[in-house]
Chain A
Amino acid sequence: RLSVTTSFANSGLAEVLLPEIQKDTGIAVELLIVGTGQALALGAAGDVDAVLVHSRAAEEKWLAEGNGTHRREIMYNDFVIVGPAADPAATAQTSLATEAFAKIADTQSAFVSRGDDSGTHKMELALWASAGVEPAGDWYRAVGQGMGAALNTAAGMDAYILADRASWLNFGNKAGLAITFEGDPSLFNQYAYLPVNPAKHPHVKAEAAQKLEDWLTSPRAKDLIEGYKIADQQLFVFNATDK
């Protein structure tokens, strides 16, 4: 049993991996799709066997509290800035994510923030900070929802939003939105796998969690992950290292 962030589930990768995992290892993975914070909380309570999220600081804090055994990086994808196709803030003309953010703030273009302490939200806040902008005002809408719901809101408001590429590509309600900015390495988004600490919760299936970890870091997983494409775009880059 694995709790994962919504952005991972929305990417559609899970639907590719799960049947293969079942085939190769015999483990029937049950996915709980929740926010990053909730995913970690479920792990801390011992209600799942492992967690797959992307929010480094929170993960390390979680480990420090003795909730898990270790952190294993699996893969990364990247964030993109999605906005009105007309790009009123001209973010496409910038080369750095921070500049793009600064332009959005300058032009007071509507911006939807996840506002839910998720990995994406933390990334967004970090970007505002390095852009030297204190995001506030009518144009800045903190919605407090999951990735998909936030995208729906942005679509409804014709607003900019920071999204992970996978969620965006899989998103069905694109309305008038398009990617306006992408490619800055500072937008990389690292996913990590964290097994729950069996010393704290003796009932967790540590063995299965270990097996799953082995599989996720295997060449077989690499092929599948890197081969997963939507609209001819590769979404994830496998970067697991040997222990």
Chain B
Amino acid sequence: MVSSILPLKIEAVTVRRGGRQILGPIDWVLDGQGLTILMGPNGSGKTTFLRVMHGLERVGRGQIAWNAAAGDVRARQAFVFQTPIMMRRSVLDSIAYPLLLDGVARQKAMTEAEALAAQMGLGGLLNQPAQAISGGEKQKLALARALIRAPDVLFLDEPCANLDGRATKEIERILTEVRAGGTRIVMSTHDIGQARRLADDILFLHHGRLIETGPKAAFFEAPKTPEATAHLNGDLIP
């Protein structure tokens, strides 16, 4: 393996939109291995933060720096959006698309995509238009499309929101596998059970600020802030 694109250093980053500061200032370093879970109430800035790391958001102030010595950093990341973006193509073509961008031969790309689709439970839908499949199937497709290039860093924004119990279990299994393979994962979720099952460490966002960070055990057993405590109990945050 070539040198890692990590660490990602985030320094005093803020994002303003619609006249409000919706994120930051945030300081954080993404490094090492494992799976980090991003938690926080609706509108706390999880999506924005993930997009900032992936380089999709214009930031107001602050610095974001990958280990640029590692070459083209974007090509070695993948992102699963909260609302899956479906191309006007078939399911199979959609999953193969990232490989085609990389210049992989069509035949080979299709074979790989087919295998991955089958693993994701999309085997029966290969020739359906991606825009016509069900909500859960779209989420699976988006995940397959993100995994097919075997990224070094994987961002997922509530990837299981529309999935049934069985599919959630399967995705969690895949993510655990991918993490074991060395991929660094950052993922947001509202499912506290899922966070408990998957996380190595937790980031807790509130009003756009990272008010609590640390290993899973500490966060769930003894949250330091009243906000996190309330969030875990599903109460109104004070």
Is there a contact between chains A and B in the complex with CB atoms less than 8 Å apart? no
Residues of B within 8 A of A (CB): none
